Structures are given as C-alpha cells and as structure tokens.
Structure 1
Amino acid sequence: MSLLLLLQTKGRMTAQALADELEVSVRTIYRDVDSLHAAGVPLYGDAGPSGGYQLLDGYRTRLTGLTEQEAESLFLAGMPGPAADLGLGDAVSAAQLKLMAALPSPMRDRASRMATRFHLDAPAWYYDPERSPFLELVADAVWRERLLEVSYRRWRSPEEVTRVLRPLGLVLKAGRWYLVALGSSRISTYRVSQMQAVTVLDESFTRPAGFDLAAHWAASLEEFQARQYTGVAVIRLSARGWEMFSNHVLPVVARAAEQSVVEEDGFFVVTIPIESLGHAAGMLLRLGGEVEVLEPAELREQVTAAVRRLASIYLG
C-alpha cells in the first residue's frame, strides 16, 4: 500500500528509488509490484535510464483508512520535531503520505511546495530543546484521561514534591513542554523536563466541563506577567539605546516602552514595568552607557553601585 501511495503521489519512480524510500530491498519492490498486478492495479514499468514504475494515467486509489494514531497526529503535521518528541513521528509521515495521495494533482503540487518553503523551529535562539524523558508517558495520560503520579522538582522549598495530577493538556512554548493539570484544588502548569519520575495510574478522571486549553494558557500568561511585574521605572535612552532596547528586553517591556515614549532633545524617556530592582538593574546594565535610570531612586542606586564595582575591577 505504501508503494502504491508513493507512485500516486510522486509519479514515475525507479525500483531503486522505491526501495530507498521504503527502506526495503529492490527484490521486495519487484515482489510487491507483482502483488499489485495480481490485485488488478494498473501499474506498468518502463526499462532504460529514464524508466521506472508508473500508474496508468487517471488511476487513483481512494484514501485508505488512517490508523487511529495517524489521525491523532494530523494536527502535528507541520511540526515534525514536536511530533517526534511525542512518539508520533512515523505516524505523521504515514498520514501525510496518505493525505498527499488523496489530493488532486494541482493541490498536491501546492502542498509539496508548502512543505519545502516553510519550516517551524520551536526553540528560541541560543537555546537547545529540553530533554523530557517522560513526555510520551505524560502525553499518553493526557490523551487517555488517566491520573498521573508525578515527582516534580520546583524552584522553591520543598524542592521535590510528589503530586497526583489530572492531566488536561500539553503546551509547547519556545522549545519547552509544559503540562497543564488539575491538582487537588486548582489548575497549575508543570514543566515536563522538571519531572523526576512519572507513573500513569489505572484510574481515569473526568475533564472539567468547558475547559479550553488555549484560552486557559493565554489567561495564565497574562496572570503570570501581572504577578511578575510589580513596579515601574522611568529611564532615558540615547538614540542608539532606543534602537537596541527591544532586543535586550522581553516583549511586554518593549511594548510598554513604545506606548509611553516621549522624545526630549534627542533622547527617549520611557516608563517600563519591572519585576524587581535586581532584575531591572541587570536588564538595564546590558545597554551600558546608552541608558540612564531616572526613577525610582533605589534602582538608580543599584545601577550606580554596579557601575562603581565594575570601575574598581577594570580601572583599579
């Protein structure tokens, strides 16, 4: 069947090309071609350098039934990396082949061009994808609505906790997988790479009525940012500092700066949200002499102290 779908999708192919694509021997291709002939498939072959096997013009097989796993994998068809992470890489390839074979020729050509011109690379710059050894187990529990017992390492004390979770969904954010799950009382987010041990329990659970994973994730991000940025600072940037600014801060800070910018004698005065004095000082020091802190005084003092320490190191 794979051989038939390949010929329907790609047209004429040599026995060697078919063997390479299907990872079998040329002898196996010959045997499978004989089987297709016996089944009444109008398949013919031409000898010579430009020869190969081809289906009779106009012949099309109906889309053969997708397996359950192939159907489940369709929403990941544009994301081969994440699909492989979830153990669905082969299923995605098989589903794509069946879908391509079912498309009319003009649509199939357009779909092929799409695949060669657009590519999704999920991780952020300078970061490698995280290793999440329990991802497939977690994904299986999400799909089958099974309880998960998770040993989880977190940032605050106690650092390692064990929880029984109702897994509601997985989210891929900047190359990192997160589990959204209902604990004993509320829905929380868990970084899959921080899971130290995972057991899928036999007990199933009922998802909360009306739960929308995408809407919940968007609301969680907004709430996180509201909790994270608890203060504001007023800074003055040179023209070069203003050009550099958005490349050195998070998008929420850059957007706030754009909305509050006031030009004064070639400088740009902006008001930005800050997480803490220490975090803000580190962020602004990346801009060197292109930025001056105007408010609050405590942040100005922290930056001043850091500059003095640097001067003492490099200037003696």
Structure 2
Amino acid sequence: MPKSKRLMELMMTVNRKRKFTVKELAGEFGVSSRTILRDLQELSELGVPLYSEVGPHGGYQVLNERVLPPIAFTEEEAVAIFFASHALRHYSFLPFETESSSALSKFYNYISGDIRDRIDEMKNRVDFVSPQRQSAFPHLGILLDGAVRQRVIRIEYESREENLCRDIQPVGIYASGGLWYCPAYCFRRKDFRLFRCDRILSAALLPEAEPLDHRDVNLSNWKTRIRSKRHGADCYVELSKMGVELCEPELSRRVPMHVREDGSGYLEGSLPLEDIPFLARFFIGLGREATVKQPPELLDEIKRGLAELTEKYNRE
C-alpha cells in the first residue's frame, strides 16, 4: 500500500477508535511497529491530537478535539454545504457560533478558486431571511449539550411576574420567527414545558442531579409526553389561504394545523392557557384571515384587546 494511502486510512482509523496500540495498528495494516510509529509521528505533525500512555495497559488515544480526515466533495456538494451554513448568518446567536464561523472560513479558503468565484457570484443572488431580533440567546450551547448528553440544567427564567429558578432536562432547541425555543422536562412541574431561550438569564449544569431516561423524546414528539392537561384548552381557528401562510411559521409547533385542498385550513388542538395573551395579539394582527371559534378564554382576550385598541384610537 502506498504511504500516502496508508496515512489517509490510518487517520480515519485512529479517529474512529477511542484507544489503540501500535501493535494493533501494525497488524491491521500489515507493516512493522516501527513503520506505524513513524506514521503516527507524521499524523501528529499534521495536527491529529494524539496522546500516548505508558505502562502495561498503555497505548495511544485521540484527544476529544478530533481532527476529521480529508473528505472529497463534488463542486455541487461544496456549494450546497457552503450555502447551508451561509443560511444561518442572519442569526446573531447560534449554539456553535464561533466554531461555525471558523469551519465556514476554512471551507471557503481551501476550496478551489473557480468554486470560490461561483460562490461569490451566488452570494448576492440567494438569501435566507429571518426576522432581526434584539434578544440575546447566550445559553444555546449548554442547552443543546444538555439535550444530547441527557443532563440536568439549572436555569434562572424570566417570567411575566418574576424570575424563577428551575431544574430542567432539555429535549432540544429550535428557531422560529427569529427566536430560539427549548422544550424541556421541568422537575418542579414534573412535566414538559416550552421555554423561550432569550428569557433564560443563566444556565449551569448540575452534575450531581440524576437525569431521567428521555432518550426517546425529541423535538417531533415531546408534546405527546405532556401529562398535565389542566392548564390547557381546546382550540379551533378557521384560516383563509393567506391565514395558513401567515400561521405556519409562527404557530405550527404550538397547535396542529390542517390544510385543505384549496389552501385554506384550520388550527385544532390543545394549547396552554399561558399562551392566550400572545395568541390573542397574533390573531388580532391577522384580521379577517383568521376566525377564532374557541376557547372562550381566547375569544375574551381578543375582544379585550380590540376594545383597548378602539379606546386608544378614539382618544387620539
């Protein structure tokens, strides 16, 4: 096997293994231990973070910050990957903001000049617009890490009345309408809740806390795990075709949406009572494009809001 090919396969092998010995690699590649030692030295000089341990149970291991082996991309794949990352540039806060910027910079700088020229031409032809928000989301990284690693996190949360301390186990994070949200199991409520990430004032891991086994819970099914129904209300809203288009990005994760063949539709499902003030303001903004049928609490809040608006403009 040519040395260049052996080094490439060796790089992929050591990245895949948690721990290994020189003897194991020598047997796997059919070369001497001395050759493997030289190859490992070359990989180390290329930036692969190898760590050696001495003793009867020693060997080599790759540090946590692994360096991925080179991957060959077609031109179309390279352009697609660049724009997949480029699409997030309007978000001021991302879970891996620094790393994303660094990865995109490396990717752009190391592709060939003609592909760079093509990307430069396309930058001003394609855009992915998201609403600009003044809110800060500094805790996205720890929330996502808590979801992936099944960790308990203590947060200070800003509610309408006061700041609350909560121990949560995140399900994940998602962006909608320029805001980030975190569905999580709340240990105080003993149920799943949805938290707005810009209202999380602080977040810290609780290593001593015992997490629940929620590995089967994810962003697509967490609502089905909500046990507490006493704070919910049945909702039904008729939508015009335009109403469907306006509601889909804002409400599709809150209330199930059903779309008819003609493009009109309706919202039907359970909603938390604490969402009613937001939903009332939202449906007032939709005007004739939405007709709320229930719950009565939402109808009352809409009427109250319209009365306040009428009084305001009558005064002025």
Larger Cα-atom Rg: 1
TM-score by length of 2: 0.45
Question: Structure 1 length normalisation: TM-score?
Answer: 0.45
